[in-house]
Amino acid sequence: CRASLPRRPPKTMASPLEEYLQRHELQEVLHRMANAVAKAMPDRPLDFMVDHLLALSTSKGAEPALARRLRMVREALVKDQAAAEAERERAEALEKDKAKLQYRV
């Protein structure tokens, strides 16, 4: 009769969520952010946390989504401003032409 060895529990595979959290170090990031909020006790904790995450993202060389979106909005505004200026100049030219035509009549 063979002595039975204690059975080892089967190795559990990390869930996709656990793998994701580990890969992106999210638990550590959230822990540090919670500690920073507790230490600073800001009047606006959500704003503080957003600033904390933006600073962290920037320090890792990534362009934060907010900064990327603001850049896109700025580019769109510059294009719109140029189009509006061109339209204003076109309207002024039409007004001058209209004034010349009225003068001839």
The pLDDT value recorded for residue 4 is 60
Q: What is the largest CA-CA distance in the chain?
A: 123
The pLDDT value recorded for residue 45 is 94
- Name the residue with tokens 């920037």: 58
Residue 42: CA count within 13 A, CB half-sphere: 14
The pLDDT value recorded for residue 87 is 95
Residues of the chain with pLDDT under 50: none
The pLDDT value recorded for residue 68 is 77
The first and second tokens of residue 16, run together, are 């996709």
CA 30 to chain centre: 17
Dihedral of the alpha carbons of 89, 95, 101, 103, in degrees to the nearest 10: -120
Task: Let me know how long the chain is.
Answer: 105
